[in-house]
Amino acid sequence: MTQNKFLKPLSLIKDLGHLIYPSSCLACENELATNENHICSICDNDLVRTSFHLFNEPSETDKRFWGRVQLKRTYSHFYYKKGGAIQQVLFNLKYKNDSAIGEHFGREIGKSIRSIDDFKTADAIIPIPLHYKKEFIRGYNQSEALAKGLSDIISVPVKSNYTKRTKHSETQTKKSRFQRWDNVSSIFAIHKSIKNLNHIIIIDDVVTTGSTMEALIRSIQNVAPKIEVSVVTLAIA
């Protein structure tokens, strides 16, 4: 340590903080520069933001649910790109057992959607639940981490215990949408307290076919037919 550092206590604190807190990029895992936060500028440049919050016409995420479930508002923050930084972000978000990643992006989502009037009536954020065995193995639920970050910004509480995943669903990648629907239609249990809510935001890491989201929404609407539902995801594939 140089004598110069003693003369600059703030910079010393920042350098120490760099040692204590994770300082690698959550996409490429290279070390971050002191002015970078969670993600390096190269990876950040590779992330494609949808800007859905700036437009009023139907978004890709809206269209994904057309004719399936009635939604108040949808929002997805990034476009999924195979081989892009977003793929690594989603992978690390799921498997790295580091809630800071999800909370960081949850806050970023919050900063984009906090000015959207449709979201202002929301009274709960509900993360898509993982089966408890899966959550135990992974250590946490990545959607819950996103929910916490979003909650920090829009000041809407997270209600993780209102929904439960009761069945392990087998891997769905190679099935048709119709087969998937059968597989996911009855995998959720819903707490009856959900009836006390008026408008929920369901949050997930990525929307692909939307089947799991649709199944959860249908299960919720069976218990609370009048509830308004919005959908927020970190990415749309």
Q: Give the H/E segment covering residue 60.
A: helix 60-65
Q: Minimum CB separation from Zn ion for residue 85, in Å?
A: 7
Given the DSSP bridges, would you call strands 48-49 and 74-79 parallel, antiparallel or unpaired? Answer: antiparallel
Sign of the Cα pseudo-torsion (134, 232, 158, 87, in order): positive
Of 28 and 48, the one with the shorter C-beta distance to Zn ion is 28
Q: Minimum CB separation from Zn ion for residue 181, in Å?
A: 37
Give contact residues for Zn ion (rule: CB under 5 A).
25, 27-28, 40, 43
Of 40 and 220, the one with the shorter C-beta distance to Zn ion is 40
Of 86 and 213, the one with the shorter C-beta distance to Zn ion is 86
Of 29 and 118, the one with the shorter C-beta distance to Zn ion is 29
Q: Minimum CB separation from Zn ion for residue 25, in Å?
A: 3
Where are any strands of DSSP class E within 48-198? 48-49, 74-79, 124-127, 163-165, 188-190
Given the DSSP bridges, would you call strands 124-127 and 163-165 parallel, antiparallel or unpaired? Answer: unpaired
Q: Minimum CB separation from Zn ion for residue 116, in Å?
A: 29
Of 86 and 145, the one with the shorter C-beta distance to Zn ion is 86
Given the DSSP bridges, would you call strands 228-236 and 74-79 parallel, antiparallel or unpaired? Answer: parallel
* Residue bearing tokens 């929920």: 200
Using DSSP's 3-state secondary structure scheme, residue 32 falls into coil
Of 40 and 236, the one with the shorter C-beta distance to Zn ion is 40
Q: CA-CA distance, 108 to 6, in Å (whole number)?
A: 35
Q: Minimum CB separation from Zn ion for residue 153, in Å?
A: 23
Q: Minimum CB separation from Zn ion for residue 31, in Å?
A: 10
Q: CA-CA distance, 25 to 42, in Å (whole number)?
A: 10
Q: CA-CA distance, 204 to 213, in Å (whole number)?
A: 8
